[in-house]
Amino acid sequence: MEQSCHAIFDSIEEGVFTVDLKWRITSFNRAAEKITGVPKMEALGRPCLEVFSADICQNNCAIRKALKENRPVFNLPVYMNRSDSRRIPIAVNATILRDDKGRMIGGVETFRDLSHLSELQRSFQEPRVFEKMVSKNNRMLEIFSTLKRVADSSCIVLIEGATGTGKELLARAVHKHSPQKKGPFVPVNCGALPDTLVESELFGYKAGAFTDAKMDKPGRFARAQNGTIFLDEIGDIPHSLQVRLLRVLEDGSYEPLGSVRPAKTNARVVVASHRKLDRLVGEGKFREDLFFRVNVIKLTLPTLSERKEDIPVLAEHFIQRFGRKKKKRILGFTQEAMAALMRYDWPGNVRELENAIEHAFVLCQDEKIGLRHLPDTVLADIHVAIGNAPATLKEIEKQAILRALQRNNWKKLVTARELGINKNTLRRKIVRYGLAAKNQGRSHDKTSRENPKQEANRSGTPGRVSV
C-alpha cells in the first residue's frame, strides 16, 4: 500500500512537498525535484525555505497563509529560484495537514511550472506589423484584426484619434485591403484648405465657373474614381458644404462648380477626425445627419501615452527604418534614454516620437542612442520631474524608475515592461537605488496581469461598429 502511494506521489505532474511543524521537508516528489532542480535526498529534512526558494517564502509563506486564513491557498502566482539560479514562474497551492483529531501536523504545498505558459503569453505580446503599422497594444491589435473585414466591405470608415496617432496610415491600410486597392488613394486634408477652396478641391469646376477658371479641373472625388478618397479632419468642413458632402456620401452624386449636370463617383470613403464628431454635433458645428452617415464603422486610435508598451517597439522600428534609409547602424538605446522616452507624454503621439528618434539618429555617433541625443522637449520633462537641482544620469534614472513604479502601483513586471528593461535589471536597480526598502511591502510579482480585454466601443446607433 505504502509503495503504491509512493508511486502515485511520484507520478503526479505537479511538484509536491510536505513539511512538519518545524517547517522541515518530510516528503518531496519527483516533479518537485524536476521543477526546483533539488534532488529528493538533499531536500528531505531541510527547512523548506532553503529548498523551495520562492518570492513569497520570507514574508508571505503560502502554508502560513493557509493556516492563518484557515483555508487552502489556490493558484498563487509567484516566481521561484531554481537550484541553477534560473527564475521561473510557478503557481502554488497550499494546505494544512491535520491528524484524526484535527490537530495540525504540518503542511503540504503543490506547485506547477508556468514557464511554457508565460512563453506563450510573451509570444502573444510580440509586436505585430500590419501594413506599415507596428504595435503590441491590445486595442491596436484588435483594430488590425478587424481591419481586413472592415476594408472588404464598402462601408464608410470613420477613424478618430489625436494628431499623429496614425489615422492616415490606417486609412491607407483600409485602402490596401479593399476591393478598390488597384485604384488611387486620394487624401484631402479638409482642415488645411481655406473654406473658399474646399468646394472646388472636392468637387472640381468647369471652365468659366469663375474668373480664373480657364479650363475644367477635376476635383478629388473625380480623381479618386475606382479608388479611395480619404477626408482627413472632416470636422473642419464648413457647415455650408456639409449638405453637399452628405449627398455624395448618400448616392455618389455631386455637381462640379459651374456644371449643370451632376457627376457620379464610386470612390470608397474613409474619413478621419482628431476631435470627437459627436461632440461637434453637440456644439452645433457638425450636422447630425452627416454624422450618422459617416459613423457606420468607427475605429478609434489610442494616444501613445495610452499605449506606452508601444514606445520601445516603435522606437526600435524607427531606428531600423532610419538605419536602412541612411545606411547607418545603431544598436538601440541606453537604459536612461529608453527611460526618458517612456516617461515623456508624447502630445504629438507617434509622429512626435518618430521625429525625436530621427533627431537622435542624426546626432548619435555611438552604438546606442543616449540621453544627450534626445531632443530638449523630451529631456525638459525629466528636468521638471526631478526639480531644478543639478542631476546626474544616475539620479535621472532613479527618478524615472521611481515614477514608473509609482505609476504602476509598484508592480515590477509591468514597470519593467513600461521602461523597456528586463525585470531582473529593474530588481537590481530598485535595490541599488534603495527604492525597495521603503516600498517592498507594496510590490507584487505576478506571472500574468494586464491585457484587459478591450471592449468594442459601441456607438449609440444600432448596427454601427466601433473598435
Of 106, 107, 164, 183, the one binding ligand ATP (CB under 6 A) is: 164
Q: Which of 130, 140, 220 is nearest to 177 (CA)?
A: 130
Told to check if 64 binds ligand ATP by CB under 6 A, we report no
Told to check if 308 binds ligand ATP by CB under 6 A, we report no
d(CA 397, CA 161) in angstroms, rounded, equals 32
Told to check if 300 binds ligand ATP by CB under 6 A, we report no
- C-alpha cell of 367? 552604438
Told to check if 316 binds ligand ATP by CB under 6 A, we report no
Told to check if 229 binds ligand ATP by CB under 6 A, we report no
Collapsing DSSP to helix, strand or coil, 110 comes out as strand
Site for ligand ATP in 188-227 (CB under 6 A): none
- Nearest approach, Cβ of residue 162 and ligand ATP (Å): 7
- C-alpha cell of 435? 527604492
Q: Which of 246, 247, 300, 296 is nearest to 273 (CA)?
A: 300
Site for ligand ATP in 168-187 (CB under 6 A): 168-169
Of 125, 146, 163, 303, the one binding ligand ATP (CB under 6 A) is: 163
Residue type, 344: Y
Told to check if 351 binds ligand ATP by CB under 6 A, we report yes
Residue (139 or 274) nearer to ligand ATP, CB: 274
Residue (267 or 304) nearer to ligand ATP, CB: 304
Task: Give the Cβ contact number of residue 281 at 10 Å.
Answer: 18
Told to check if 402 binds ligand ATP by CB under 6 A, we report no
- Nearest approach, Cβ of residue 161 and ligand ATP (Å): 5
Asked if residues 281 and 230 have their Cβ atoms less than 8 Å apart, the reply is no
> How many residues would you count in the chain?
467
Residue (90 or 301) nearer to ligand ATP, CB: 301
Q: Which of 374, 450, 464 is nearest to 411 (CA)?
A: 450
Site for ligand ATP in 257-276 (CB under 6 A): 274
- Nearest approach, Cβ of residue 181 and ligand ATP (Å): 18
N- to C-terminal Cα separation, the chain: 61
Collapsing DSSP to helix, strand or coil, 86 comes out as coil
Q: Across-strand partners of 73? A: 94
Told to check if 165 binds ligand ATP by CB under 6 A, we report yes
Told to check if 158 binds ligand ATP by CB under 6 A, we report no
Task: Give the Cβ contact number of residue 195 at 10 Å.
Answer: 13
Q: Which of 417, 303, 420 is nearest to 351 (CA)?
A: 303
Residue type, 324: R
Stretch that binds ligand ATP, among 17-25, 101-109, 158-166, 291-299 (CB under 6 A): 158-166
Asked if residues 115 and 100 have their Cβ atoms less than 8 Å apart, the reply is no
d(CA 137, CA 307) in angstroms, rounded, equals 6
Site string for ligand ATP, 111-150 (x = CB under 6 A): ---------------------xxxx---------------
Residue (87 or 321) nearer to ligand ATP, CB: 321
Stretch that binds ligand ATP, among 1-9, 162-170, 358-366, 422-430 (CB under 6 A): 162-170
By CB under 6 A, name the binding residues for ligand ATP. 132-135, 161, 163-169, 232, 274, 314, 317, 350-351, 354
